[in-house]
């Protein structure tokens, strides 16, 4: 069990201080425990999940600003996505935000979904729209290639709470190989963002950098942690996921029997077309729970499709849901169930 927790601790490396050094050392230890394979532990976890799931309501709202990306990542499905490229129209975006704030108690809005949000000209305005109406955090995921000095000023001024930058390398060659993008502009962008925040005297946004653990990045993991610890607020080393089975890999931790996923219970995902789908791993929108053109977020959450989706997860019958059947995310995120929602 200790080895399992260690594996999760290594995801976060806080900035600066004694703790940073401790975390960094922990993060470099070789780990690989998989304690949840035991039948008894799994039964206990399932019983706990079933009880907890009944009371959960969506607190996270993923609003896909734009389903386009300028990167060509080898571990991502977006480059081969069949969906039409489109921007989430402003009226639908506003309806989603108003619906979430009016019907639920949102804790976070993710204005990324499947795509690079900085490609949208009005991103800062969207952040402000949310911040003017809600105390929920606004988070962005970006590949960092479009973080210009002027753009970072606008971003900091918008009130965004966290910007997570997927760098995935410390060397130009590796970044180009796995993302098809240069590294230097993104690194400069991260520093520009931190500098813009400092100039404004603000504590937001938190800035995190991440590297996905892949055969190509394995040799750079330690250097990445050393390079960014004490600079960014968080340094994350993430496991590669298989995008609901669309990427032909499966994390070794996900070889056991299926366990329920927490996303159907605490997250709603709106694609740029207005469709509300299973989650952001469902990049092609294979499981549509409703459409914002026709119904409100609350109506969709309470609708038959969403209730059935949650029931099958709650009962551990994930293999009956084609989009979730081969997904390795529930295994990787299983301890999210223990967190306070």
Binding stretches for ligand SF4 (CB under 6 A)? 244, 261, 263-264, 278-279, 281-282, 323-324, 327, 329-330
**Contact present, 123 and 147 (Cβ < 8 Å):** no
Phi and psi at 238, nearest 5°, equal -110, 150
Give the shortest CB-112-to-ligand SF4 separation in angstroms: 15
Give the shortest CB-319-to-ligand SF4 separation in angstroms: 11
Give the shortest CB-261-to-ligand SF4 separation in angstroms: 3
Cβ nearer to ligand SF4, comparing 180 with 316:
316
Cβ nearer to ligand SF4, comparing 127 with 297:
297
Give the shortest CB-281-to-ligand SF4 separation in angstroms: 4
In the DSSP assignment, the letter for residue 14 is B
Give the shortest CB-279-to-ligand SF4 separation in angstroms: 3
Cβ nearer to ligand SF4, comparing 229 with 267:
267
Cβ nearer to ligand SF4, comparing 93 with 263:
263
Give the shortest CB-117-to-ligand SF4 separation in angstroms: 20
Q: Which two tokens stand for residue 87?
A: 């921007």
End-to-end CA distance of the chain: 23
Contact partners, residue 50, CB within 8 Å, separation at least 6:
314, 315
Q: Which two tokens stand for residue 158?
A: 């918008």
Cβ nearer to ligand SF4, comparing 27 with 329:
329
- 263 exposure class (CB count in 10 Å sphere: 0-12, 13-18, 19+): buried
Distance CA 64, CA 24 (A): 33
Distance CA 306, CA 226 (A): 44
| Torsion-angle region of 316 (φ positive above 0: left; ψ -120 to 50: alpha; else: beta) | left
Cβ nearer to ligand SF4, comparing 217 with 329:
329
For residue 86, count other CB atoms closer than 10 A to its CB.
Answer: 14
Give the shortest CB-131-to-ligand SF4 separation in angstroms: 27
Give the shortest CB-297-to-ligand SF4 separation in angstroms: 17
Cβ nearer to ligand SF4, comparing 211 with 268:
268
Reduced to 3 states (helix: H, G, I; strand: E, B; else coil), residue 24 is helix
Per DSSP (E only), the strands in the chain are 60-63, 108-110, 137-142, 162-166, 206-213, 234-239, 267-270, 275-277, 288-291
**Contact present, 66 and 88 (Cβ < 8 Å):** yes
Cβ nearer to ligand SF4, comparing 247 with 292:
247
């Amino acid at each position: 069990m200790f080895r399992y927790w260690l594996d999760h601790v290594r995801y976060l490396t806080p900035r600066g201080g004694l703790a940073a050094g401790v975390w960094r050392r922990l993060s470099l230890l070789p780990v690989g425990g998989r304690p949840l394979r035991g039948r008894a532990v799994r039964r206990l976890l399932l019983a706990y999940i079933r009880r907890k799931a009944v009371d959960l309501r969506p607190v996270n709202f993923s609003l896909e600003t734009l389903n386009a990306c300028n990167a060509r990542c080898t571990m991502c499905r977006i480059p081969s996505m069949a969906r039409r490229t489109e921007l989430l129209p402003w009226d639908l975006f506003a309806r989603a935000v108003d619906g979430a704030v009016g019907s639920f108690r949102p804790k976070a809005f993710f204005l990324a979904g499947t795509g690079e949000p900085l490609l949208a000209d009005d991103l800062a305005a969207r952040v402000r729209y949310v911040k003017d109406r809600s105390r929920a955090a606004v988070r962005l995921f970006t590949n960092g290639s479009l973080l210009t000095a002027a753009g970072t000023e606008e971003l900091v001024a918008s009130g965004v709470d966290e910007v997570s930058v997927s760098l995935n390398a410390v060397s130009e060659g590796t970044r180009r190989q796995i993302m098809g993008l240069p590294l230097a502009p993104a690194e400069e962008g991260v520093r520009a963002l931190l500098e813009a925040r400092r100039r404004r005297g603000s504590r937001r946004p938190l800035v995190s950098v991440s590297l996905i653990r892949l055969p190509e990045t394995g040799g750079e993991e330690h250097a990445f942690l050393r390079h960014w610890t004490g600079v960014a607020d968080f340094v994350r080393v993430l496991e590669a996921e298989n995008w609901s089975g669309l990427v032909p890999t499966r994390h070794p931790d996900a070889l056991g029997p299926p366990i329920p996923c927490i996303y159907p219970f605490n997250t709603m995902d709106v694609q740029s077309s207005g469709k509300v789908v299973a989650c952001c791993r469902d990049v092609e929108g294979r499981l549509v729970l409703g459409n914002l053109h026709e119904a409100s977020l609350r109506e969709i959450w309470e609708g038959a499709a969403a209730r059935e989706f949650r029931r099958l997860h709650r009962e551990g019958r994930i293999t009956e849901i084609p989009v979730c059947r081969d997904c390795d995310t529930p295994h990787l995120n299983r301890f999210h169930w223990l967190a306070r929602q």
